[in-house]
Chains A and B, each alone.
Chain A
């Protein structure tokens, strides 16, 4: 069975601070995908990043960066110089590789981390 743990329920920072959101996952598959989604108060999930299990390179996109470490089953997300607009709930998710073709993969989500960025 797959499981995603986001131990940080809520994080509050002051604008311009750096913040790291933790994600630990469990899976028995050797091929899998990891994701981060952002959910603003409007409710719609916004895709941020996808990594596959064979690509452990860290990735940077503007103020966002991701650290994937298979040895510790972690996929952490860092926001540099946080802004008020970053305030949202962030979800880490896991998907196994499909066994058959057709359709798509289901996502297993963590419980989310509420990030509050204040002035």
Chain B
């Protein structure tokens, strides 16, 4: 059973360019969350997709957008790249919570390291 996979592993872009990162969730999972981890920092929540819709969003500008496909895989798009967007981008998948008091564990992928020059 494959876990969460992300592509590409590494990416180098220049300022102003656009980038697309991809994530395939763990088998059976229907919810995908994206996190940005700058060097020396903890991951920060970008947004979450469920049923092909953005369900929650962290404090990130509109330059960050995403998509979820019918097979539950997801893309993260970042437009007009800035130097500060250089980070490890982590994807996490989970099964949708059943109710208010439940929690389903998030499984993280290996990440995509984005370098903006």
Contact = CB atoms under 8 A, between A and B. Distances in A.
Contacts of A103: 31, 48, 50, 55-56, 96-97
A46 B58 CA distance: 22
Given A44-B109, A44-B110, A104 B43 contact: no
B110 A104 contact: no
- Range class of the B interface residue count: 35 or more
A107 to B, nearest CB: 7
Interface string A86-118: 000001010101111111111111111000000
Identify whether the interface residues of B are mostly helix, strand, loop, or mixed.
loop
Given A47-B105, A103-B48, A104-B48, A98 B110 contact: no
Nearest to A4: B42
B58 to A, nearest CB: 7
A62 interface: no
A51 to B, nearest CB: 11
Interface string A1-19: 0001010000000000000
Interface of A: 4, 6, 31, 33, 37, 42-47, 50, 52, 91, 93, 95, 97-112
13 contacts: A43-B113, A44-B110, A47-B105, A47-B107, A101-B96, A101-B99, A103-B56, A104-B94, A104-B95, A104-B103, A104-B104, A106-B56, A109-B42
